[in-house]
Structure 1
Amino acid sequence: MSVEIKIIILISVFIGLFIIREILLKFLGKIVEKNQIEIDDVIFNIFKKSSILVIILITLYIASKFLELPEHHSKIIDKLFSSVLIFTISVIIANILSELFKFYVRKNNLLSAPTGIINFLIKSLVILLGIITIFDIWGIPVNHFITALGIGGLAVSLALQPVLSNFFSGLNIIASKQIKIGDFVKLETGEEGYVHDITWMNTVIKTLQNNFLIVPNSKLASSIILNYFMPEPEILEIIPVSVSYNSDLNKVKDITLKVAKYIQENEEEAVKNYQPKIFFTNFGDSGIEFNVVLRVKDRTVRPELRDKFIMKLFEEYNKEKIEIPYPTRTVLLKNIEN
């Protein structure tokens, strides 16, 4: 068979495979459009991208057969082709399983699921199985592979100590269930925000300024964390208030409780059915001080609730002629004669 004919056959195979790919893509595309399921689109896109690589691999394999290499070399090429193909398929399957897991999390509203680290474990397991299969193709026993890992394990663990530390710290954070995705936390350094994701290396915290704070898992696991959502996100909001010494305290208490109950029952940031409380606390320099205790759904809505309560209370105090004192100073001047 002449070189020209071989080239024509090779090009024909390449074009033929692409035509088959286009037919399959159109057929699958129609099915995806009918189903209108998000995961179908994701899997379709994975197939669309990876199929090009598979076609190139098949074409290169056929081209190698036209070279008329010795049997020994031909067997090596067969093993190489099988190895690359198995690894490619392993990566495709790993990506599909990863997307299926993400879809399951979104569909079931499992917002606290640490998708980053679980995705890493899923992909790693599938690819590891693919690598073991490749070893079998080359006639390498798995126990030899495990032995090699044991021998090199010490050197690898020393070289990858920070990586392994972050990985196992991430597993510990997930297993302890003390910090979950969606929790509002405050670090010992003062930064605070929502836990956005827990990956195999870092924990991602989304601040109230809409920025991402990346914290290594090992540092997070060894630091002091304040979790505002544990054991529950609801918290007490204590608002200090002061009234004049000339005020009728019973009237002050009644008016303040009336406002507090209105806010507690009607504002979306407040926990319904909670009974607000008032505690007189101190004889201040300018007036009698007391605290109003409300209950909010979570820490992030505290400013809104405080704002609404203070505005409503100020309005009611003005109607009822209740004076809110402010600090005053009396300055006495003496005329000192020489």
Structure 2
Amino acid sequence: MDDNLFFAILTIVAGLIVAGIARIIVRWLEKYAETTETKWDDIIVAAIGTPVQVGIVAISVYIALKSFDIVPAQYAWLLSGKVLNSIYILIATWIASSLLHDIVRIYGHALAEKTQGDTDDRIVDLLELAVRYVVWFAGIMLIFVNLEINITPFLAGAGIAGLAFALAAQDLISNFFGGAIITVDKTFKVGDRIEVDSYYGDVTVIGTRSTRIRTIDGKIVTIPNNKITSGSVVNYSEPDPKIRYTLPITVAYGSDVVRVKKVIFDVVHDAIQNTDYFASDPAPTVFFREFGDSSLKFVIYVWAKAYNIPDEVKDAINVRIASRFAAEGIEIPFPQLEVRMKK
């Protein structure tokens, strides 16, 4: 065997041995890092461990090829300093990508867990992916510059691709930031009862693209986040689940208005005291609103303890109104049509 080839192989084997020793040291450092409270040592060891081992082997191969003259003349460019610098850039890019990815993954999710909803977690997932692509793209561009390859076409292509992606995904991006705005602005949260456009129900999911609400009749409605942030939202759960209900009451002409108001007040106070639906503060109010076409019109304003019991509130009042009006002889009018015929 040629002496140069023998020493080249010996150099590569030595590199493999050093890489193996480095692997043993890295494993020891990983176990030691697990015993410490901080996560920084875990992140650093994980980032440099494998790239350093691969770098040791790559550099030993480069040294073997360059020092012992075993490379054919047509491949002599492989031994230039630019190739060695490219190896350094590649290893550094690998380490930076792993380091930044783990920082975002560990500390980003730790912060996201302190907030409600899953929007923050989705943002962190997106950042994890973006960090890897951005760092590797920058590293590859540096390698091209080192090798004196014109990167203008690559940058122009990346710009065009980015523009095309932005145009194609503008709704997705708009909805994504809409979800972030909902989370940051705290417009509503999961479990709140809201009204958006003509939809009324409870929020079940706040996603990166859309928000889902369960309507009163059990249907799931998916609404794009950008529609929510660009429109009006009524939140019945904030700042207080208490809500005021308006109940119209009509009685026949000829009824004693003062007496009717007293009876209605008695009915409302009875409902407040003997059911669990009503709040006593603010106090209920009753108004004689107007003279209608065929009836005297009153209105009751009463506060319920929660926004999700409208039928219970109306039933508690209306049942008592019907019973008390019948006992007091107060007539509740109904539509009538009088027909007169001429002879």
**Residue 223 of structure 2 aligns with which residue?**
215
1:164 lines up with 2:173 in the alignment: yes
1:157-212 CA-partner distances (Å, limit 9, x unpaired):
223222222222333333444x2114333233x22222333222112222122222
Kindly report which structure 2 residues correspond to 1:33-182, keeping only aligned pairs within 5 A, or say none.
94=105, 98=109, 101=112, 104=114, 113=116, 115-129=117-131, 152-177=161-186, 179-181=187-189, 182=191
Letter in 2 for 1:263: A
Change (3 A) 1:123 1:245: same
Q: 1:330 and 1:162 mapped to 2: Cα distance?
A: 60
The equivalent of 1:307 in structure 2 is: 315
RMSD of aligned residue pairs (Cα, Å): 5.1
Question: Does the aligned pair in 2 maintain the 1:278–1:291 contact within 8 Å?
Answer: yes
Aligned equivalents of 1:127, 1:286: Cα separation in 2: 70
Q: Residue 280 of structure 1 aligns to a residue in which SS? A: strand
Asked whether the equivalents of residues 183 and 195 of structure 1 are also in contact (C-alpha less than 8 Å), the reply is yes
Could you tell me how far apart the structure 2 residues matched to 1:94 and 1:211 are? 36
Paired position in structure 2 for 1:287: 295
Asked if 1:321 corresponds to 2:323, the answer is no
Q: 1:159 to 1:243 in 2, by over 3 A?
A: closer
* Secondary structure of the structure 2 residue equivalent to 1:300: coil
Deviation at 1:284, TM superposition (A): 2.7
In the TM superposition, what is the alpha-carbon distance from 1:118 to its structure 2 partner?
Answer: 0.9
Q: CA deviation at 1:265?
A: 4.1
Secondary structure class of the residue paired with 2:118: helix
Distance between the aligned counterparts of 2:309 and 2:110, measured in 1? 34
* Mapped pair 1:200 → 2:202: no
| 1:159/1:330 CA distance change after superposition, 3 Å | closer
Distance 2:162 2:274 in 1: 62
Q: Show structure 1 runs of 5+ residues with no match.
A: 1-57, 59-64, 106-112
Out of 327, 333, 336, the position equivalent to 2:341 is: 333
Describe the SS at the equivalent of 2:332.
coil
Question: 1:258: how far off?
Answer: 1.3
Instruction: Specify the SS of the correspondent of 2:288.
Output: strand
Amino acid at match of 1:154: L
Q: Which amino acid aligns with 1:267?
A: T
Distance, in Å, in 2 between the alignment partners of 1:317 and 1:136 is 82
Question: Distance in 2 between the 1:140 and 1:301 partners?
Answer: 65
Please say if 1:274 is aligned against 2:274: no
Does the Cα contact within 8 Å between 1:95 and 1:123 map onto a contact in 2?
no
TM-score for the superposition, normalised by structure 1: 0.59
| Alpha-carbon spacing, 1:94–1:210, altered in 2? closer, same or farther (3 Å) | farther
Q: Which AA in structure 2 matches 1:157?
A: A
Ranges in structure 2 where 5+ consecutive residues have no aligned partner: 1-49, 51-56, 63-77, 79-86, 146-150
Distance change in 2, residues 1:135/1:187 (3 Å): closer
Contact kept in structure 1, 2:251 and 2:297, CA below 8 Å: yes
Distance in 2 of aligned mates of 1:255 and 1:202: 49
Give the match for residue 13 of structure 2: none
Distance 1:99 1:322 in 2: 66
* 3-state SS of 1:260 partner: helix
Which of 240, 246, 249 is the matching residue for 2:257? Answer: 249
Give the deviation of 1:256 after TM superposition: 1.0
Offset at residue 277 of structure 1 (A): 0.8
CA separation in 2, counterparts of 1:299 and 1:202?
24
Distance 1:303 1:159, change over 3 A: same
Q: Residue by residue, what CA displacement relative to the aligned partner does 1:250-281 show, whole Å, maximum 9, x if unpaired?
A: 33222210111222344333223331111112
CA distance in 2, matches of 1:211, 1:327: 36
Q: 2:233 is matched by which residue type in structure 1?
A: I
C-alpha distance 97-172 of structure 1, shift in aligned 2 (>3 A): closer
Contact 2:109 2:124 in 1 (8 A): yes
Q: Is the 8 A contact 1:264 1:276 kept in 2?
A: no
The answer on whether the counterparts of 1:264 and 1:294 sit within 8 Å (CA) in structure 2 is: no
Give the C-alpha shift of residue 132 in structure 1: 6.3
Q: Which has the larger radius of gyration?
A: 2
Q: TM-score, normalised by structure 2?
A: 0.59
Contact 1:184 1:229 (8 Å CA) reproduced: yes
Q: Give the corresponding residue for 1:34.
A: none
